[in-house]
Structure formats: C-alpha cells, structure tokens
Amino acid sequence: MIAVLASNKKEFMTKLLTSDIFDNFLVEEATIDTFNTFHIDGKIHKDFYKNDGEYSDDTPLLDYSKWSDLKSICFDLIKGKRTPLSFKFTFHPGQAMKNEVLEKAGLNINPEDVLLGLNIRFSNGNIILTTGCAFKIFSLDKTIEKAWDEFIPSFLEISNIETKEYE
C-alpha cells in the first residue's frame, strides 16, 4: 500500500471530474459531504436491465459502474462556491488495466481472485490517493501488491498529475 498527496488540488479535481483519465475505473462507492452526505453505491443492480431488450442473460455486465457514468453526478454535487467538507471515492481498475498489472507481476493467478483498489479521499484540505490489494484466496506473495503500487504512480505521472509522498 502506498499513499500520495495530490500536489495541485484544483488541477487534480479538474482532471478527475472533467477529463477522461479515470473513466475506465470502476466505482465501488462514492461519498461526498457538502450540506448533506451523499453516498453512491457503485454496485450495479443487474435486475434493472432484465427486461431491457438490450441485454440478455448471456450479456456480461460489470459488477460496478464506470466512473464515466457517475462523474457528472459527482461533479454536480461538488461544484459551486463552497469546497466540500470531504469526499471519498473507492475505485477499482477496469479489466484491461487489471490484466496489465497482473501480467507485469508475472504471476499466474485468476484475475477474479484479486481485488485492486484506489481510494481518493479529500479531508482536512488534502487529497490523498491510497492503493490497496486484497485476495479472495490465501497468498503470502506480495508481488501483485508491489506491481499495483508501482503502476499507480506511473499512471498518475503519465496523466500529468503531480503528487508527493504522503507522510
């Protein structure tokens, strides 16, 4: 697990809420504290699409909504003259990104057995990004966790998001 601080909060928020940089991340949850607390559970209710005609029982649906589908809602809750009291977003990489990290780790593990996470939290005037890794199976091997901890800083750098180590 690593934690980094967004160096330029305004620039980071612009990239998070108006660019496509994070669009392929999946949202487990979003909590935004303004005049009320707004909580979004990103878990997709697959029954909602049951009688849609667009989806059949064979159509694979994601477990969580993509950030691209929720960011405009979050943007509407955050924008304005007043800074939110706090917010927290729990993201997971999309399948392609997850496969890239697992491939870099060089382990032969079922992608369904590992959960990679990125928490983005605004609190006390700071935006802190924290990585996390959990397994559905028992493993003492930290190779995947290390690969994820290396991937996120390089992803942020490629995206021109300046960070510094959080102490």
Structure pTM?
0.90
Answer whether residue 44 shows pLDDT above 60.
Answer: yes
How is residue 91 written in tokens?
């993201």
High-pLDDT (> 90) share of the chain, %:
71
Answer whether residue 23 shows pLDDT above 80.
Answer: yes
d(CA 31, CA 130): 16
Contact indicator for 132, 121 with CB cutoff of 8 Å: no
Answer whether residue 60 shows pLDDT above 60.
Answer: no
Contact indicator for 91, 125 with CB cutoff of 8 Å: no
Interval 72-93: pLDDT, tens: 999 999 998 999 999 999 999 9
Contact indicator for 162, 3 with CB cutoff of 8 Å: no
d(CA 35, CA 72): 18
First to last CA, the chain: 13
The dihedrals phi and psi of 123, each to the nearest 5 degrees, come to: -155, 140
pLDDT mean across residues, the chain: 90
HSE of 133 in the Cβ direction (CA atoms, 13 Å)?
24
Q: Give pLDDT, residue 72.
A: 96
In this structure, the strands spanning 26-33 and 86-92 are antiparallel
Which of 37-51, 82-96, 107-121 is predicted most confidently? Answer: 82-96
